[in-house]
Structure 1
Amino acid sequence: MKVKLQFILSLFIVFSFQSYSQETIKTMFYNLLDFSEAPPTDRSDILNSILASYDPDIFMVSELQTEADMNLILNQSFDYTEQSVSSAPFVYNTSGFGGNLHQLVFFKTEKMQLMETNQIQTNIRDINHYKFQMNTADEEMLHVFVAHFKAGQYESNQQERYFEATKFVNYISDLDADANIIFGGDFNFYSPTEAGFVTIQYGTLNTDMLDPLNRVGEWHNNATYSDVHTQSTRRSNGNFGDHGAGGGLDDRFDFIFISDNLAEQTNNIRYVEDTYQAYGNNANCFNNNINYINCTGDFDQDLRNLLYDMSDHLPVVMSLETDSNFLKVKNYQIKNNVSLLSGNLVDDMVDFKFNSSLIGKKAYIYNSLGQNLGGFTINNTFRSYDISAYPNGIYMLKITDLEGHIKIIKR
């Protein structure tokens, strides 16, 4: 009887773990600093190494300059992964004085689908809204907002940040009371007493937005909060063509806020405790370069060198989890989703037409020996690809998650 009882108990434990297995959604926000204009010129490769070290499922950015820079990130910075990465459509800023600095989100298509996008207008830069549906049986929704608030310490700058925060809370007041929300951005708050910060946290009747670390204090130029500082990674910007700020790490400008329901363990999507970090900050670099040799700790010298070269800001990261399992993406036949507009007998250029469902997936060209000659991320339903450097012969196009291939004959 004792053996039988132990067997039943073992089955209960096994099925309990199967029923409550958890899936993780890793998020990152990063102010990319005038990307890609600012030096050094190899920052897409630098970003590749930073992203590979964390591997986010949702990557929120600010200070992206052009659609070409978006494609640079998709094709080069995410080249480290075999998983399919897409971005929301690149949309130019519609607010008053945002200039050529834009917000955007990149995401793993195996884990989620982009359902809606919108822009909240302010006086300076838009606040971008992205609604995602998780690729799970429960199809949980996650609202992602990305912002870049007005910089500066003057009272007028603080008032502008308050206005931007008010626009955000007025917007989310129209969402369902139980909506899952994360709000990433460079907010330029110098103090938690700023009206803008208080408004984000407590500005609606239905939803409070929380700092997952609960490290609310006078961060500015205060060594007590050196573990949460995100700007500046550099004591001087002289070696970077005066792009960005100097002064060393002494401000907490960058945040990912979460709606209060994400802090509840019973919620369908929730924050994972102790995963929020100022990425690369070992908490001992106050007023110094992030790559200062004495700033040792969990984040190694190689990573901190990359962060120093990439931007005057550090990324902030955190993880979410859900009890629903991500569903395996079905493999579809490539022949039903890709066509060659000029046939498969070509000279220098191949003209592809892709089904819109393929946007975000990676396409690769192989020779007859099966060698990978390169590829690209599908960002549009039409794409011309230059194969003039290839010798005459037979080539194959393959796409991630699709079965089969398309034959191309270069003459």
Structure 2
Amino acid sequence: MKKKLLITLLVFACALNEAASQETFKIMFYNLLNFPDQSSSKIQDLEVILEDYNPDLFMVCELNNQTGANAILSSLQTINPNYSSATFVTNSSDDAIGDSNDLQNFIYFDSSKFILESQTQIQTIFRDFNHYTFKLNTTDQISNPIIIHFIVCHLKSSQDDPNPDLRFLMVEDLTNYLDGFPSSDYFILGGDLNVYTNSEPAFLELTDVTNNITFIDPANRVGSWHNNITYIDVFTQSTRTQTGLGGATGGFDDRFDFILTSENMLTNPDIFYVNNSYQVYGNNGNINCYNQEINSSNCDGVDFNSTIRNVLYNMSDHLPVILELQTNETLSTNNFNLKQAFSIIGSNIVKNELSIQIDATFFESDFVYIYNTLGQKIITYKVQDINLLRVNVSNLSNGLYYVVASNSNLKPLKFIKSN
């Protein structure tokens, strides 16, 4: 009996150890729609999205310039100072068939979790693929390095000939490049593929099982996507039906944006896709959303509220794609929690009341201020000898707000007002 009990305890201890060592990474890809040139207010909309999802690694396309790249990094660093980015480069491919040099790909990452080893531009007939090689920041990264490759891309748009063939030629350049890597390497491809069906040559080339690196759709939602409500849960475009904000205006009817993984990432314990974590951020899977604007009540659902869908509508004609990766290795980061002087209790998306916990041991401010995104101070609270502050926000307009202590050395808090 004692022997059985000992075995049971050992098994339980091993299970706890394995669970404790698992680390999860949140990945996002987003077509930013001519950022930042399309609108000066887009950075505020993007900040709401990033604050809500808080990706560990963020891939983008349709980034116009270094100014836009720096603005996004600054916003990310207000969420987490560990965010970093690759070196910004402009497109090096031939742009004779389009003004592609105005649309760049880029990547941001949490440097406490990912170490950027190298970056490469893969030239095609139209626009670069950007290849970023990372090493996970694990405790045994010297003896057992885990390398993961991220490819960011934006294929040629339009159904009209010869554009499907041009997309294929671009992908063919990528697969030829990937022939130079061990087939056991881990790859993630995030991009606006602009494909309408899985039978398009470009998609067939990416997923060809005879390739050295074969990509798969981790969502397992492969089919003829265009105008097919069977696949509405993976639609990413268009968020709009009206002109004025740029981009496409055809309503919600296409799956253009993808995160694909190499097939070995479904099962390998070093780094693997978390089952059922693939999602289109902002898409509630509501069939009534077909051909509608994403901020319409027809697109309501439990996952993404109207505030989030409104900023997505303003930000781009595309929706972001997200998924999670996991490793059984332990990260080389501090596991202790620093004591916070003040913090939001519960979710930072609130409707009527915001609750703020204050630790008088560390909090040396007499006042707390609430600012809107224009930098206007709209509420002042005296907080001497208070441990819990309850703020009535029911009369505030929907959007992003900052909670600032009069002791400016403290990092501001952020919350989103949503009805």
Q: TM-score range by the shorter chain?
A: 0.7 to 0.9
What secondary structure sits across from 2:102 in the alignment? Answer: coil
- In structure 2, the residue matched to 1:234 is 240
Instruction: Tell me, yes or no, if structure 1 residue 244 matches structure 2 residue 247.
Output: yes
CA, structure 1 residues 203+244, in 2 after alignment: closer, same or farther (shift >3 Å)? farther
- In structure 2, the residue matched to 1:12 is 11
Instruction: Tell me, yes or no, if structure 1 residue 87 matches structure 2 residue 85.
Output: yes
Opposite residue 112 of structure 2, the aligned amino acid is E
- In structure 2, the residue matched to 1:23 is 23
Deviates more, 1:126-135 or 1:15-24: 15-24
Query: Deviation at 1:155?
Result: 2.2
Opposite residue 253 of structure 2, the aligned amino acid is D
Kindly report which structure 2 residues correspond to 1:301-380, keeping only aligned pairs within 5 A, or say none: 301-328=306-333
Kindly report which structure 2 residues correspond to 1:265-304, keeping only aligned pairs within 5 A, or say none: 266-284=268-286, 285-297=289-301, 298-304=303-309
CA distance in 1: counterparts of 2:88 and 2:161, whole angstroms = 33
Opposite residue 297 of structure 2, the aligned amino acid is I
What secondary structure sits across from 2:265 in the alignment? Answer: helix
Query: Deviation at 1:83?
Result: 4.0
Query: Deviation at 1:210?
Result: 0.1
Given that 2:178 and 2:212 are in contact with CA atoms closer than 8 Å, whether structure 1 keeps it comes out as no
Given that 1:227 and 1:281 are in contact with CA atoms closer than 8 Å, whether structure 2 keeps it comes out as yes
Given that 1:173 and 1:204 are in contact with CA atoms closer than 8 Å, whether structure 2 keeps it comes out as no
Structure-1-length-normalised TM-score:
0.77
Gaps of 5+ in 1: 331-368, 372-395, 399-411
Opposite residue 310 of structure 1, the aligned amino acid is M
Deviations 1:182-226 (A, max 9, x none): 000001001111111100001643332101111111111111211
- In structure 1, the residue matched to 2:52 is 53
Opposite residue 218 of structure 2, the aligned amino acid is P
Opposite residue 29 of structure 2, the aligned amino acid is F
* 1:140 maps to which of 134, 142, 146: 146
CA distance in 2: counterparts of 1:214 and 1:178, whole angstroms = 21
Deviations 1:231-261 (A, max 9, x none): 000012x231xx2110111010000110000
Q: Percent identity?
A: 42
Kindly report which structure 2 residues correspond to 1:146-157, keeping only aligned pairs within 5 A, or say none: 146-157=152-163
Opposite residue 42 of structure 2, the aligned amino acid is R
Given that 1:234 and 1:289 are in contact with CA atoms closer than 8 Å, whether structure 2 keeps it comes out as yes
- In structure 2, the residue matched to 1:105 is 107
- In structure 2, the residue matched to 1:409 is none
Opposite residue 281 of structure 1, the aligned amino acid is N
Opposite residue 153 of structure 2, the aligned amino acid is A
Given that 2:33 and 2:247 are in contact with CA atoms closer than 8 Å, whether structure 1 keeps it comes out as yes
Deviations 1:312-331 (A, max 9, x none): 0000000110000111269x
Given that 2:30 and 2:60 are in contact with CA atoms closer than 8 Å, whether structure 1 keeps it comes out as yes
CA distance in 2: counterparts of 1:248 and 1:49, whole angstroms = 23
